[in-house]
Amino acid sequence: MQDLLREIAILNSTSATLDWDQETYAPSKAVEFRSKQMAYFAGKIHELKTSPAFQEGLENASLGEANQRELKHQFDRATKLPKELVERASETSTLAKAAWSEAREKDDFSLFAPHLSKLLEIAREQADHWGYEDEPYDALLSEYERAAKTHEVAGLFDSISEDLARIAATAVEKSATIPADLLHGPAPIHEQVTLNREIAESLGFDFQAGRIDTTEHPFCTTLGPADIRLTTRYDKDDFTSSLFGVMHETGHGLYEQGLPGDDFHLPSGQAVSLGIHESQSRLWENHVGRSRPFWERWLPRAQELFPHLRNIALDQFLTAINRAAYSSIRVEADEATYDLHILLRFKLERALLTGELEVSDVPGVWNDTFESLFGFRPANNREGCLQDIHWSMGGLGYFATYSLGNLNAAQLHDCAAQDSEVAGGNRQGNFIPLLEWMQKKIHAKGSTLLPQDLMESATGSPTKPDAYLAHLRERFC
C-alpha cells in the first residue's frame, strides 16, 4: 500500500510540475501536447486511486487510524462517481469555462446561463452519489472543507453578517480621506523581487526548498516534499500589490513546508482543508503583514529600495495599507470588506443547489443581495455575477472556505499570542516564534485531525467568530 501511495504521490507531483511549468515558462504552442500529458496523468491517478489494489491495501495496511480514515474517505469519494459522470463533468466544465469567458467579455449572462444549469445538474448528481446528511451542499463543501456541515457554516456566517457589514461601513467611512494612491511611485521589479524575497525569508520560507516565479494569477503549488513554488505578479507603480500577494502565498508555502515530509504520500503529510490552508495565508498577509511591529522593522528597508516612501511616516503608511473601500470585485477587496463578497456567494450557491433560486434570476438576486450588503449595485454583470471563474470550473462549494480561513486565522493568531514567547516576538517584529507555534499546532498534524478537531486541539474551540470580529474592530473601528 505504501508503494501504491508513493506512486500516486509521484504522479500527483509530476502533474503539478507540468502545470507549474505551463503557468510560468512554457511557450504558447506547448499547450496542446501539455494538455494531453495532463489528461494522461489525471487518468492514471484516478485509475490507481480507485483500483482493487487500493481497496485491498486499505483493508490490510497498517498506516495508523487517521490515515486509514482519510484514505477510505478518498477512495469512497473517488469510486462513488460513475465514469460517465466524471467525463460529463469534465466536458461540461471545459465548455462552460469558454462560455463564461465570452459571457463575461460581452457582459451577457444569457451566454453562460445554460452552462450553469448543466453544472448545477451535475453538482446535484455528484452530491447524490457522494451522499450527505442534511443537504446536497454538504457533499460539495466537503470536497474542500472535510466534514464541514453547511448549516453550521451558514449559522456561523449568519451570526456575523451584520457585524461584518457594520465594521466594513465604519472602515470605509474612516478611510474616505486616505488617497488610494498614497503609496504609489516607481517600483522597479528588481527591487520588488528583492524586498519580497527578504520578507518571505524572514518569515521562515526556505528558498532551498522553494522559489517565487511570475504568473498572471498568483498561486502556491507543491512539486515535492521540499519543493514549494509560489508565484506573484508585479505592478510597476505599486510595490504593495506583489508584496501582500507574496506574503499571502508565503503563508500557504510555510504550511506546505511545515508538513511532515516523510509522510508526503500519506494524509498525515498533507494539508487538511482549504479553510485551514487559507488561515495560514491570511495570517501572514493580514495579521502579520499589516501590523505595526512588522512595519517598524520593514518600512526602513522599503524606504531604502523605494525612495518615494521616504516622506511617509509609519503611522501614515499603516493607514494606507489598511485603507478600506467598497468594490464590486472580490479579488480587489480589502480585509474589511472581503467577507461580504463571500457571504453573498455562499448564500446564492446554496439557493441555486436547492433549486430555491433559478439560474435566470441570478443577475437580479446577485445585485439585490450585493446592494443590501454594500449599499450600491454593481455597474454590470461583469462586475457582478460573471466576475468569478469558480462556478464555470464546477467549483461549487469552494467560496465559503475563504471566510472560514479568515475566522481561523484570527482565532489561531489570538491563541498563539497567549504564548509569551510568541507575543514577545510579535511585538518585536520577529515572527519565527509564531511560525513555530503554527508548525507544532497545525502544520505537523497534516490531515490526522479533521479541520474542526484540529482547530479545537490548537485553540480549545472549533471555529468561532470572536477573535476575528475583535481583530477587525481593533483594526478598523
Which residues are identified as catalytic?
Answer: 249
Provide the 10 A C-beta neighbour count for residue 472: 26
Residue 42 or 95: the one with the smaller Cβ distance to its own copies is 42
Q: Is the dihedral of CA 463, 465, 468, 470 positive or negative?
A: negative
Quote the least distance from Cβ 223 to its own copies, whole Å.
7
- To its own copies, the closest distance from the beta carbon of 293 in angstroms equals 29
Find the binder of its own copies among 48, 226, 351, 469 (CB under 8 A): 226
Cell numbers for 474: 481593533
Q: Which range binds its own copies by CB under 8 A, 37-45, 56-64, 149-157, 458-466?
A: 37-45
DSSP notation for 108-163: -HHHHHHHHHHHHHHHHHHHHHH--SS-HHHHHHHHHSTT--HHHHHHHHHHHHHH
* Minimum separation from the CB atom of position 208 to its own copies (A): 5
- Contact between 107 and its own copies by CB under 8 A: the answer reads no
Q: Whose CA is closest to 257, among 313, 201, 303?
A: 201
- 388/402 Cα distance (integer angstroms): 14
Give the containing element (helix H, strand E) for 426.
Answer: helix 420-428
The pairing of strands 227-232 and 210-214 is parallel
Nearest to 224 by CA among 208, 239, 236, 213: 208
- Our CB check for its own copies shows the closer of 230 and 276 to be 230
Q: Which stretch binds its own copies (CB under 8 A): 24-32, 326-334, 354-362, 366-374?
A: 24-32
The span from the CA of 330 to the CA of 49, in Å, is: 35
Instruction: Confirm or reject binding of residue 7 to its own copies (CB under 8 A).
Output: yes
Binds its own copies by CB under 8 A, chosen from 227, 278, 285, 436: 227
Rg from Cα positions in the chain: 22
d(CA 244, CA 255): 17
Sheet of 220-224: strands edge to edge?
A: 210-214, 227-232, 220-224
Q: How far is the CB of 190 from its own copies (least distance, A)?
A: 11
DSSP state of 16: H
**Site for its own copies contains 190 (CB under 8 A):** no
Among 16, 23, 37, 106, binds its own copies (CB under 8 A): 37
- 30 binds its own copies, rule: CB under 8 A: yes
Residues 140, 150: Cα–Cα separation, whole Å: 9
Q: Does 170 bind its own copies (CB under 8 A)?
A: no
- In the complex, the smallest distance separating the C-beta of residue 203 from its own copies, rounded to whole angstroms, is 17
Q: How far apart are CA 34 and CA 19, in angstroms?
A: 8
Nearest one of 122, 127, 96, 132 to 111, comparing CA atoms: 96
Tell me which stretch binds its own copies (CB under 8 A): 28-36, 60-68, 332-340, 445-453. Answer: 28-36
**Binds its own copies by CB under 8 A, chosen from 16, 34, 125, 135:** 34
Sequence-distant (≥ 6) Cβ neighbours of residue 389 within 8 angstroms: 97, 100
Chain positions 354 to 373 lying near its own copies, rule: CB under 8 A, are none
Told to check if 163 binds its own copies by CB under 8 A, we report no
Smallest distance from its own copies to CB 8, Å: 11
Stretch that binds its own copies, among 219-227, 244-252, 299-307, 461-469 (CB under 8 A): 219-227
Answer yes or no whether residue 29 interacts with its own copies by CB under 8 A. Answer: yes
Query: Does residue 296 touch its own copies according to CB under 8 A?
Result: no
Q: Does 177 bind its own copies (CB under 8 A)?
A: no
Q: Nearest distance from residue 32's CB to its own copies, in Å?
A: 7
Contact status: 32 vs its own copies (CB under 8 A): yes
Q: Does 249 bind its own copies (CB under 8 A)?
A: no
Which residue from 90, 163, 176, 175 is spatially nearest to 126, judged by alpha carbons?
90
Q: How far is the CB of 221 from its own copies (least distance, A)?
A: 12
For residues 469 and 163, is the Cβ–Cβ distance under 8 A?
yes
Other residues' Cβ atoms within 10 Å of the Cβ of residue 247: 25
Secondary structure (DSSP) of 430-447: --HHHHHHHHHHTGGGTT
Q: Please tell me whether residue 207 binds its own copies under the rule CB under 8 A.
A: yes
Q: Does 376 bind its own copies (CB under 8 A)?
A: no
Shortest distance (Å) from residue 207 CB to its own copies: 6
d(CA 165, CA 375): 10
Closest to its own copies by CB, 22 or 202: 22
Closer CB to its own copies, 30 or 180, in the complex: 30
2 touches 261 (CB < 8 A): no
197 binds its own copies (CB under 8 A): no
Instruction: Answer yes or no: are the C-beta atoms of 259 and 280 closer than 8 Å.
Output: no
Binding mask 252-281 for its own copies (x = CB under 8 A): ------------x-----------------
Of 286, 309, 308, the closest CA to residue 299 belongs to 309
Q: Site size for its own copies, by CB under 8 A?
A: 33
Please state at what angle helix 432-441 crosses helix 420-428, rounded to 10 degrees: 140
Q: Return the residue of 47, 105, 173, 206 that touches its own copies, per CB under 8 A.
A: 206
Write out the residues near its own copies by the rule CB under 8 A: 7, 10, 13-14, 17-18, 21, 25-30, 32-34, 36-37, 40-41, 206-211, 213, 223-227, 264
